[in-house]
Amino acid sequence: MRAVRITETGGPEVLAVTDVPSPEPGAGEVLVAVEAAGVNFVDTYRRGGVYPVDLPTGLGSEGAGRVLALGAGVDGFAVGDLVAWKEAAGSSAEQVVVAAAELVPVPDGVDATTAAAVLLQGLTAHYLCTDTHRVTEGTWCLLHAGAGGVGLLLTQMIRLRGGHVVTTTSTEEKAELSRAAGADAVVRYADATATARELTGGRGVDVVYDSVGRDTFDASLRALRPRGLMVLFGGSSGQVPPFDVQRLNREGSLFLTRPNLASYTLDRAELLHRTDELFGWVRDGRLDVRVGHTYPLEQVRTAHEELEGRRTTGKVLLVP
């Protein structure tokens, strides 16, 4: 089967698509034929060595497809079932082995493309606005990269929960998408703090969702109200350098968290609870999933270049 592999870390040029033997599911695992594989920023961190990986390795963690074979002791799934997953190493491939505990059934009314497009970024948006901060009626948020994969989904969820959101984008085309997703105001990065303060009567926002990291972190802190929450959940522009905690004191008793999806899908019950709600919103039309870019597996380099080069909107998918 064809699979994306890297033998060293580096830029997109280290990505190769090669023939490898089909994997075999062990106990508690399921072999799946991948119909669509999600490309996420975390794949670029792994490829580039920001997150350590054992080499050589496959790449990609998210996808959707049909069950091909069950390993020993797997209950609840059958050959032919449509399933999706957010975390299985080597998902950018024609086939992948997924731990049954990671696999979620895709309900009727949701197709494989949509499932692969929404799972990782949708679950992320879900935990960010339900649990990292419980967005409720009247909550004011600042969200960077409003036209990105997570950005478009999180904007819609904040509005579904009655919250308000100022988003940032780098271009007018992206701003239009962010507005269509429900943002109350869309601004360029340099104007984020001023707009966040203006729209909250000078007080500052309750929560900042910042996945851009190095370039936005300082200004994000200044957009918060006293006792507000800074959620640093990524580093699309680079990682934030070591931080002096006295700044939380100086800027008004702020809170800071650096969450990840694994800590918010700690067991199967939590994974299924979030997934049920997510797929429910998709099925009943309350959550629009925008697939911005679809590439054949062979064009994985282009997919990474476009994502890192800020030329994508919504979801980036690979189709084996």
Ligand X SMILES: NC(=O)c1ccc[n+]([C@@H]2O[C@H](COP(=O)([O-])OP(=O)(O)OC[C@H]3O[C@@H](n4cnc5c(N)ncnc54)[C@H](OP(=O)(O)O)[C@@H]3O)[C@@H](O)[C@H]2O)c1
Residues binding ligand X (CB under 6 A):
40-42, 121, 124, 145, 147-151, 169-170, 174, 211-212, 215, 233-237, 259-261, 307-308, 310, 312
Closer by beta carbon to ligand X, 200 or else 236 = 236
Cβ 172 to ligand X, closest distance in Å?
11
Tokens of 287: 């959550």
Check: CB of residue 32 under 8 Å from CB of residue 57.
no
Task: Indicate the residue among 31 and 281 with the shorter CB distance to ligand X.
Answer: 281
Nearer to ligand X, 214 or 250 (CB): 214
Distance CA 51, CA 48 (A): 8
CA distances (Å), origin 268, targets 29, 31, 38:
15, 19, 21
Tokens, residue 22: 């089909």
Closer residue to ligand X in complex, CB, 22/237: 237
CB-based closest residue to ligand X: 148
Residue 81 Cβ vs ligand X, minimum distance, rounded to whole Å = 26
Q: Can you tell me whether residue 230 is helix, strand or coil?
A: strand
Facing residues of 210 across strands?
232
Residue 52: which residues within 8 A CB-CB, separation 6 or more? Answer: none
Helix (H, G, I), strand (E, B) or coil at 264: helix
CB of 105 to ligand X, least distance (A): 22
Shortest reach from residue 170's CB to ligand X, in Å? 3
Instruction: State the Cα–Cα distance between residues 33 and 269, nearest whole angstrom.
Output: 25
**Least gap, CB of 77 to ligand X (angstroms):** 25
DSSP H or E stretch at residue 3: strand 2-6
To ligand X, the closest distance from the beta carbon of 263 in angstroms equals: 8
Least CB distance to ligand X at residue 162 (A)? 23
Nearer to ligand X by Cβ, of 48 and 71: the residue is 48
Are 48 and 10 a contacting pair, CB within 8 Å? yes
Nearer to ligand X, 147 or 185 (CB): 147
Which residue lies nearer to ligand X by CB, 81 or 305? 305
3 state DSSP class of 245: coil
C-beta closer to ligand X: residue 148 or 228:
148
Neighbours of 286 (CB within 10 A): 12
C-beta closer to ligand X: residue 67 or 135: 135
Nearest distance, CB of residue 275 and ligand X, angstroms: 15
Helix axes 172-180, 149-160, angle to 10 degrees: 30
Write the DSSP string, 66-133: EEEEE-TT--S--TT-EEEES--TT-SBSEEEEEGGG-EEPPTT--HHHHHHHHHHHHHHHHIIIIIS
Q: Whole-number minimum distance, CB 303 to ligand X, in Å?
A: 11
